[in-house]
Amino acid sequence: MDEPRITAAELSELLRETIPLTRLLDLRVTEIGWGTCTVLLPGSDTTLRAGGTVSGPALFAMADTALYGAVLSRIGLEPLAVTSDLSLRFLRKPPPDDLHGVGTLIRLGRRQAVGEVRLFGADPDQLVAHATGTYSLPL
């Protein structure tokens, strides 16, 4: 298997510099592999909504970040790779605790990348949400 073209530290720095929302949510990149990216959304009052559950926008940001990392793991540090489509399915009420997201690239073409993200709490077999998305790649 090939080595990723970006490290977790490089992606974290890019996110801090270019996407302020990741700082607000304290969204962390915990691992990068070839075509994969794992992120952590720490449990926090900042992400909660009525009913004591993590808000949809926080989960969406988490999914988008994990997929972005999976794309960059293959193409390198390219800030102009942008989301063109992202669909999120809520599967169960997320706990108000740490959440993890694993983004996986399904297909990488010349102009676009397609992937999925699995979001879960402590148990990776108990998904709270599943996302699929497409990124447009710069020429």
CB half-sphere exposure, 74, CA atoms < 13 A: 22
Token pair listed for 109: 């073409």
Strand partners, 54: 48
pLDDT in tens, 92-137: 999 999 999 999 999 999 999 999 999 999 999 999 999 999 999 9
Q: Reduce the DSSP state of residue 56 to 3 states and report it.
A: helix
pLDDT at 139: 81
The class level of CATH for 8-136 reads alpha beta
28 has a pLDDT exceeding 80: yes
* Domain ranges across the chain: 8-136
What is the C-alpha separation between 73 and 67, in angstroms, rounded? 10
Contact 90, 56 (CB under 8 A): yes
CA 57 to CA 5: how far, in whole Å?
29
